[in-house]
Amino acid sequence: MDPADLNVVLLVGAGLLLVAVAAVRVSIGAGLPSLLLYLAIGLAVGEAGLGIEFEDAEVAQVLGSVALAVILAEGGFTTDWRTVRPVAPLAGVLATVGVAISVVVTSALVYVLLDVDARTAILLGAVASSTDAAAVFAVLRRMPVRGRLRATVEAESGFNDPPVIILVTVVASSAWADADGLGILGQVGYQLVLGLAVGYLVARAGRWVLSRSALPASGLYPIATLAIAFVAFAVAGVAGGSALMAIYVAGLTLGNSRLPHRATTESFVEGLAWLAQMGLFVMLGMLASPARLLDALPGALVVGGALTLVARPVSVLVCATPFRVPWREQAFISWAGLRGAVPIVLATIPMAAGIPGAHRIFDVVFLLVVVFTLVQGPTLPWVARRLGAAADASPREVAIESAPLEDLDAALLQFSVGPGSRLAGVEVAELRLPPPAAVSLVLRGAEIFAPSPSTALRVGDHVLVAAARSEQQRIEQRLREVSDGGRLAGWYATLDQKAPA
């Protein structure tokens, strides 16, 4: 490539990235999911806008899969397992049985209402039935939603992509002629279980290595962490398992482990996830043809209406009722099943396979995502309030970052005193950290000083603690106790333990 052409490409790419970053601010101010603006940017620079043509469905499918892997890794890494664990059975049922019900009901309605062949009806039902992790994470994490409901919808969106991908791949391939329901079900189960196992085992091994490594620069830890997640993705794919399930489970396992420089790693993967979302939606917007979209609008309304108003509520009702989930919570879970990048990426699979009418399927799904995101996204906060799913904003748990010290069996712990934390007002001596540990430095505004035992912590303080690595877990637990309970946290428990039996 000529250097001048390369500069033009870099200029256009950097300009699009800056516009996409600005779109995040615009979307938050307007109350719209940012994915809609990214799709609009893609349409604006595509064939009907600036004239940049992009029609390679195979490339879009590959790049889309990688982008989804990054998004799922970040989603797993930033999910608190303590919140997910109580709802994991329900989320698992919604991601498997619920998706199957949605596919069957949607496909049947589409087959009757649109008068299409069975293969096209199943593809439309399957492609549209998967909720989108990127859309769900982006919308719900900006809303004060009760923890149980948020965890259920987020976990479902993380788990339900692999079953649909397997189904769409089988239906769009030459195996469709010989496919049977039990064979597809067995293949889905095998790939899910293998992906889950690979993701967990690879992440456990990676965690063991990272916790015992002292890398020369803190910026290497986020790179190593993401690399471990992608090792799980690749190993699962090579072994015949679900690669997306593996990377989500790997991210979940790593994110709930005590890792060095955790805060740095979290910021790194969050930035990459934003970049993946921007690139993914802009690319999908470029792949769409505005000239064909208007003709696909009636089909999009039929498929989206059948899914959102019938299939999704029925699947949630069947799956959640045995778990005694109240109807109000069921209604919120149903309405919070947002669609986004995943259905559009899945719609590229029939295009890449050369299925007759594949472009029509893509157009219908593209419009479905746009129209129903416009309807569901902005109304979700109102629905949450009406159904009692909204929660009061509460201070976040104290975040503790650790870094191993090379050649020493010790670690540095860093934490901040956030608004609402009961660490504020606690004196250093009142922390009562397990020995050997020392509060070494406090950063307060522009001032850095070594605290005395009587120094009281304030909101906004950044605190550095030096500790023996063997006591790191106990020290972190103690800091979280004080952050939740104040200076007397654990005091009565200590007196009880000292009392005679």
For residue 471, what pLDDT is reported? 80
Nearest to 59 by CA among 351, 364, 356: 351
Give dist(CA 317, CA 153) in Å, integer: 14
Tokens read off for 62? 């590959």
Q: Is the pLDDT of residue 403 over 80?
A: no
For residue 496, what pLDDT is reported? 35
**Residues paired with residue 462 on neighbouring β-strands, in sequence order:** 416, 443
Distances (CA, A) of 31 to 23, 28, 37, 382, 441: 12, 5, 12, 12, 41
H or E element that contains 237: helix 220-239
- What pLDDT, in 10s, does the model give residues 32-87? 667 777 888 888 877 766 777 777 778 888 888 898 889 888 888 888 788 788 88
- What pLDDT, in 10s, does the model give residues 106-135? 999 999 998 888 888 989 998 888 887 777
The confidence band for 414, taking pLDDT boundaries of 50, 70 and 90, is confident
DSSP structural state of residue 117: -
Q: Is the pLDDT of residue 407 over 60?
A: no
Is omega for the bond preceding 436 within 30 degrees of 0, making it cis? Answer: yes
Percent share of the chain, pLDDT over 90: 16
- What pLDDT, in 10s, does the model give residues 236-286? 999 988 888 899 899 989 988 877 777 778 888 888 888 888 888 888 888
The confidence band for 481, taking pLDDT boundaries of 50, 70 and 90, is confident
Domains parsed from the chain with CATH numbers? 31-44+60-386 (1.20.1530.20), 400-498 (3.30.70.1450)
Chain-wide mean pLDDT for the chain?
Answer: 82
For residue 260, what pLDDT is reported? 78
Q: Higher-confidence residue: 246 or 357?
A: 246
- What pLDDT, in 10s, does the model give residues 431-444? 888 888 888 889 98
Q: Which of 109-118, 336-345, 441-450 has the lowest mean pLDDT?
A: 336-345
Tokens read off for 24? 């995040």
| Triad 473, 475, 478: Cα angle to 5° | 110
